[in-house]
């Protein structure tokens, strides 16, 4: 019997730190993306997270390189990409009414709830405030 693999939502910190050679968990983040690309883990993100990644990477590296990186992530077959619709934004605002988090984090959580994703790979400790999801530090997933 095939047991379905757990799906992990990749936050922008994981995507950015895979590229940033100065990031503390750069190797671990890159390893996670490589595992997703090879189908060794189920990974997901949202187009909003990819847009944020593009914006932040364009400040860290050249626009050309940032575009190349995000385009490659968009085409990565091992990474499911989810689109935010009206219900997602409504649910994100409900999450924000209950928990002290930023809009981008609330959108990630709402997306995860819609897609039944329980785990988010992120260095952002703000996710620890939310009992709806469980944050996993990239170093903790690196050995899977």
Model confidence over 91-120: pLDDT tens digits?
999 999 999 999 999 999 999 999 999 999
Q: What digits encode the pLDDT tens for the residues 65-80?
A: 999 999 999 999 889 9
Residue 34 within any structural domain of the chain: yes
Res 144: pLDDT: 56
Residue 37 within any structural domain of the chain: yes
Do 142 and 135 contact (CB within 8 A), yes or no? no
Number of folded domains in the chain?
1
Residue 33 within any structural domain of the chain: yes
- The CATH number that applies at residue 61 is 3.40.50.1010
Residue 1 within any structural domain of the chain: no
Give the residue from 140, 141, 139, 94 showing the smallest Cα distance to 113. Answer: 94
Per-residue confidence band for 5, with pLDDT thresholds at 50, 70 and 90: confident
Residue 2 within any structural domain of the chain: no
The CA-to-CA distance between both ends of the chain, in Å, stands at 21
Expressed as residue numbers, the domain containing 24 is 7-141
Residue 89 within any structural domain of the chain: yes
Residue with tokens 């935010």: 84
Residue 70 within any structural domain of the chain: yes
Res 52: pLDDT: 96
Mean pLDDT of 55-69: 95
**What are the residue ranges of helices labelled H in the chain?**
12-17, 26-37, 47-60, 63-75, 86-98, 103-114, 138-141
């Amino acid at each position: 019997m095939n047991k379905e693999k757990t799906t992990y939502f990749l936050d922008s910190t994981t995507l950015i730190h895979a590229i940033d050679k100065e990031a503390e968990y750069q190797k671990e983040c890159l390893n996670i993306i490589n595992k997703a690309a090879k189908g060794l883990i189920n990974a997901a993100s949202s187009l909003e997270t990819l847009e944020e990644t593009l914006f932040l990477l364009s400040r860290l590296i050249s626009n050309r390189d940032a575009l190349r990186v995000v385009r490659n992530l968009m085409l990565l077959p091992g990474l499911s990409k989810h689109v935010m619709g009206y219900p997602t934004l409504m649910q994100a605002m409900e999450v924000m009414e209950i928990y002290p988090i930023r809009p981008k984090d609330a959108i990630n959580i709402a997306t995860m709830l819609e897609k039944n994703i329980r785990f988010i790979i992120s260095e952002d400790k703000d996710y620890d405030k939310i009992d709806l999801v469980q944050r996993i530090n990239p170093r903790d997933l690196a050995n899977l």
